[in-house]
Amino acid sequence: MNAEAIKKSLETGGLRCTPQRYAVMAFLTEHNRHPTAAEIFEAVNRVDPRSSRATTYNNLRDLVQAGLVREVAVEGRAARFDAKDIPHHHFICDRCGNVEDMEWYDVPRPDSGSLGKRVLRECELIFRGLCARCAPRTGQTTHAPRQVR
């Protein structure tokens, strides 16, 4: 996503394209490593324009509300963020907590009976297990049932 596209997507989302907001969005589109708010704050402050911690959080919240960014809550760890450009699912590592993108495929929706009066917005598939780096290692995971075998 280039500068113009980012600018446009912000405006489409009803958000003014401020330097700080742009920096957050640009960082997220350039890195699909699902950074935490703290990492984003650090990253955008390594270069101008600077941005305070509060602003980073404010902008992340605005971007999530506008539907441009997704917030991924991870058990026992800081939330992670990623640009919602290409649809995808997530793989969360039991051991290191890293979030990785997984190829998207359609998810069967629940039938309207079990949905009741609820209004469904999206179906999200989360895979859990050990990531490629953690799989070869042994030892205990931090946030998952112990591995039975």
Residue 135 engages a copy of itself in binding (rule: CB under 8 A): yes
- Cβ nearer to DNA, comparing 86 with 126: 126
Query: Of a copy of itself, DNA, none, which one sits near residue 16, judging by CB under 5 to 8 A according to partner kind?
Result: DNA
Q: Give bridge partners of residue 83 from the DSSP assignment.
A: 69
Residues contributing to the site for DNA (CB under 7 A): 15-16, 18-21, 36-38, 49-55, 57-59, 61-62, 76-79
What is the C-alpha separation between 77 and 97, in angstroms, rounded? 7
Q: Which stretch binds a copy of itself (CB under 8 A): 16-24, 29-37, 42-50, 122-130?
A: 122-130
- Cβ nearer to DNA, comparing 15 with 43: 15
What is the C-alpha separation between 64 and 71, in angstroms, rounded? 7
With a CB cutoff of 8 Å and minimum separation 6, the contacts of 55 are 20
Closest Cα to residue 29, out of 81, 73, 107, 65?
81
- Chain residues 6-45 in contact with a copy of itself, contact rule CB under 8 A: none
Closest Cα to residue 94, out of 135, 40, 55?
135
Residue 124 engages a copy of itself in binding (rule: CB under 8 A): yes
The two most distant CA atoms of the chain are separated, in Å, by 53
Residues that bind a copy of itself (CB under 8 A): 64-67, 71-76, 79, 89, 91, 94, 100, 102-103, 105, 107-108, 110, 114, 116-132, 135-136, 140-141, 143-148
